[in-house]
Amino acid sequence: MGPGEWQRTALVTGGAIRVGRAIAIALAEDGHDVAVVYRSSSDAARATVREIEAEGRRAVAIQADLAEPDASGAVAAAVRDEWGGLDVLVNSAASFRDVPLLDVDAEEWDAVMAVNVRAPHLLTRACAPMLRARGGCVVNLTDLSAFQAWTEYPHHAVSKAALAHLTRLQARALAPEVRVNAVAPGAVLPPDDWSDERWESLARRAVLGRVGGPGDVVGAVRYLVDAHFVTGHVLPVDGGRLLGPTGPLPSTLDEDDG
């Protein structure tokens, strides 16, 4: 590194497993030292750290329950103490609860909102001084439920819609030093309790006729990290599902009705 340069660093919540893990490893491949935040997946977090270290980068696993209000400040302090600064924050950790709308009580509602909306706000707030000092960026992970009425995951959907709008608010509030964007994945990794048939049904709903994979989300995150003239946007990575189902449009008009 030359004069005035520094080793780039990244912080990925939910970075021990699933899509968060793929993002953490990709950022290491791109030259970042990576802090992997996990709640309970300690073995997976250590395995992710070892894989990052195998890329020749430094890594640290930070245990935190981001549903707790004080956790975000502690995570930011740990990164500051470890590396002194931060270039990229990826808010990937999320709660994904399958509860019918009328069964969502106050406790259930608050539990999802604490992780999916409040934590990305509090962690971005805590990391803002480090990000501003380096002209860094934030990438939030929302999903298609931000734009669609997922009745099986109602409070999750509301929280992701809130996160999409929070992304726009953060982009305005932290500009011009810090860029804030989001990725809205579609079907890229099935929940553990889904059947193959249920997962494959999503492919039939996509314009591209297939599901994606974690690498598709990684590509979007990489783009947003390096897109220095983009802020305040939510990038769908969904195989075209937001366009609606494939097939001819129903019509009550005869072809000759113009």
Distance between CA atoms of residues 188 and 215, nearest Å = 8
Q: Which pLDDT belongs to residue 222?
A: 98
Do the domain assignments include residue 209? yes
Pairing status of strand 179-185 against strand 137-141: parallel
Can you tell me whether residue 85 is helix, strand or coil? coil
Q: How confident is the model at residue 253 (pLDDT cuts 50, 70, 90)?
A: very low
The DSSP bridge partners found for residue 36 are 12, 61
Residues 194 and 200 sit within 8 Å (Cβ to Cβ) = no
Do the domain assignments include residue 247? no
> Which range of residues forms the domain containing residue 85?
9-239
More confident residue, 97 or 159: 159
Residues 122 and 44 sit within 8 Å (Cβ to Cβ) = no
Residues 62 and 37 sit within 8 Å (Cβ to Cβ) = yes
Do the domain assignments include residue 94? yes
Q: Which pLDDT belongs to residue 199?
A: 76
Distance between CA atoms of residues 45 and 5, nearest Å = 29
Residues 226-237: tens digit of each pLDDT = 999 999 999 999
Question: How many alpha carbons fall within 13 Å on the CB side of residue 5?
Answer: 5
Residues 22 and 91 sit within 8 Å (Cβ to Cβ) = no
Do the domain assignments include residue 204? yes
Total domains, the chain: 1
Angle between helices 154-174 and 106-113 (to 10 degrees): 40
Can you tell me whether residue 89 is helix, strand or coil? strand
Do the domain assignments include residue 147? yes
Do the domain assignments include residue 251? no
CATH of the domain at 67: 3.40.50.720
Do the domain assignments include residue 143? yes
Residues 87 and 8 sit within 8 Å (Cβ to Cβ) = yes
Residues 157-216: tens digit of each pLDDT = 999 999 999 999 999 999 999 999 999 998 888 877 778 887 788 878 788 988 889 999
Distance between CA atoms of residues 206 and 187, nearest Å = 9
Residue 2 has pLDDT above 70, yes or no: no
Q: Which pLDDT belongs to residue 206?
A: 84
Do the domain assignments include residue 3? no
Distance between CA atoms of residues 124 and 113, nearest Å = 16
Q: What angle do CA 118, 52, 73 make, to 5 degrees?
A: 25
Residues 65 and 39 sit within 8 Å (Cβ to Cβ) = yes
Residues 170 and 179 sit within 8 Å (Cβ to Cβ) = no
The encoded tokens of residue 191 equal 């929940």
State the average pLDDT for the chain: 91
Distance between CA atoms of residues 241 and 246, nearest Å = 9
Residue 223 DSSP label:
H
Residue 1 has pLDDT above 80, yes or no: no
Residue 244 DSSP label:
-
Burial class (CB in 10 A: 0-12, 13-18, 19+), 61: buried
